[in-house]
Amino acid sequence: MKLKELLNGISYTVLQGNEDTEISGIAYDSRKVKEGFLFVCMRGATVDGHRFAASAAENGAAALLTEEPVAVPDAVTVVQVENARAALSILSATWFDHPADKLKTIGITGTKGKTTTTYMIRSILEGSGHRTGLIGTIETIIGDRHIPSENTTPESYLVQKYFAEMVEAGCDSVVMEVSSQALMMDRVTGITFDFGIFTNIEPDHIGPKEHSSFDEYLECKKKLLKMCRIGIVNIDDNRYDRIVDGATCRIETYGYSEKATLRALDAMMLSKPGYLGIRYQAEGLVNIPVEIDIPGKFSVYNSLAAIAVCHHMGATPEAILNALTKAKVKGRVEMVPVSDRFTLMIDYAHNAMALESLLSTLREYHPNRIVCLFGCGGNRDRDRRFEMGEVSGRLADLTIITSDNPRDEEPEAIIADIETGISRTEGQYITIIDRKEAIAWAIHHGEPGDIIILAGKGHEDYQIIKGKKYPMDERVLIQEILHEDWRKGVYHNIPE
């Protein structure tokens, strides 16, 4: 493809060379440049791609797309644009022949609920006869392929590449998580989503390497409602008016409010040995009784959002109900059958806000005790440790402090910070550094009616210690513990 064709729809200036240059590929990492490639120089949080312009030329780049002049041989075409990230998104869509136009596209943003909602939507659509791709925090799903994720929303080139592969695999739709970082860094620029879902907004991802303020965080997320045809928004969010202010799409709403386009009535907690769920009546766009095998009020919101969008795509009530009873998300209030005496679950809650939401929800099931096992990551904001310790000390009956991803820090130092937070409460706690030992202790000391939550790791299947990533999946640890107990003659009544 010629460079000028690739740059169609982008405002640019040719600094040197010829825009009729033939392009054989696109790269934004100079190490991946091959003969005839276009290299896009982008500025990151710590690295500026312009520094690698000469290296890209040496590797065979035929052209460079930059935001400023660079020193490269005259034979290399240099094109300057105002925003290289936005340009990469647009030219990637052109390179892959605009695959988003061949799919029904569903984008989901919000502080909480994105991951679970994407899986619910995919489950309903697949059960309704659609072939649906997925891009999110845990993985990208293309047909039978499951690709582990590095970012919630990948770089724009990968987004378009995945879209194209979905089309090739016979998909007719895609549901994807759209993070505030993705919106801020133009990873989805140029895409007009058929549906945009806004789950909720709370202060999060605010810091030197993320968003400078809550207002900026909100403004970034709101961009989705200017990039979709139909926006589906949680009307119960206390910042709803700010969320929809300036939206250019048609707005539909969901929630408990009487004003909601799709509302939930008569929510009822469901509980039995080893199982927690919720039931409610949906009214408005769809009138059906709903039961979900995922506990909590937030499950009502996530499922309402899923029902609202899938209704537009022709899903029948039967398909919706069947899919929601089967929808499971790895590491999101994921119940693991261990005993009929207590409930054990794994959840990704790894900050104070998420942990407070989770523990408050579980308290509504009136358990005998809430036992919360968690640690905090090393080389991260220390305040998170104090905050999570304080939340668990206040809302759990017993906290088991253990190791998460200590990275370059000593686990004992991280645990001491968590203890500082718990000490601000009257909460009871113990410390067990080794995570497997901590999980075993929780299982062996579970009491009838307890809810035991393993928080922080969720879908992760590794532990990072001193720069090295070691395999560690809590599901595997649990099975190892049960097997070791069996060999010792200790038996657990595992619910079906």
Question: Tens digit of pLDDT per residue, the chain (496 long)?
Answer: 999 999 999 999 999 999 999 999 999 999 999 999 999 999 987 889 999 999 999 999 999 999 999 999 999 999 999 999 999 999 999 999 999 999 999 999 998 999 999 999 999 999 999 999 999 999 999 999 999 998 888 999 999 999 999 999 999 999 999 999 899 999 999 999 999 999 999 866 555 566 668 888 899 999 999 999 999 999 999 999 999 999 999 999 999 999 999 999 999 999 987 789 999 999 999 999 999 989 988 999 999 999 999 999 999 999 999 999 888 899 999 999 999 999 999 999 999 989 999 999 999 999 999 999 999 999 988 999 999 999 999 999 999 999 999 999 999 999 999 999 999 999 999 999 999 999 999 999 999 999 999 999 999 999 999 989 999 999 999 999 999 999 998 888 887 6
CA distance 425 to 22: 66
What's the CATH code, domain 334-487? 3.90.190.20
Range(s) of the chain covered by CATH 3.40.1190.10 = 99-326
CA distance 38 to 41: 10
Class of the CATH-defined domain 3-95: alpha beta
CA distance 213 to 206: 6
Q: Are 243 and 226 in contact (CB under 8 A)?
A: no
Range(s) of the chain covered by CATH 3.90.190.20 = 334-487
Range(s) of the chain covered by CATH 3.40.1390.10 = 3-95
Angle between helices 382-395 and 352-363 (to 10 degrees): 10
Q: Which amino acid is at 441?
A: W
Closest by CA position to 177, among listed 127, 125, 116: 116
What's the CATH code, domain 99-326? 3.40.1190.10
CA distance 26 to 161: 11
Chain-centroid distance of CA 148 in Å reads 12
Q: What is the per-residue burial (b if ≥16 Cβ within 10 Å, else e) of 310-334?
A: bbebebbeebbbebbeebebbbbbb
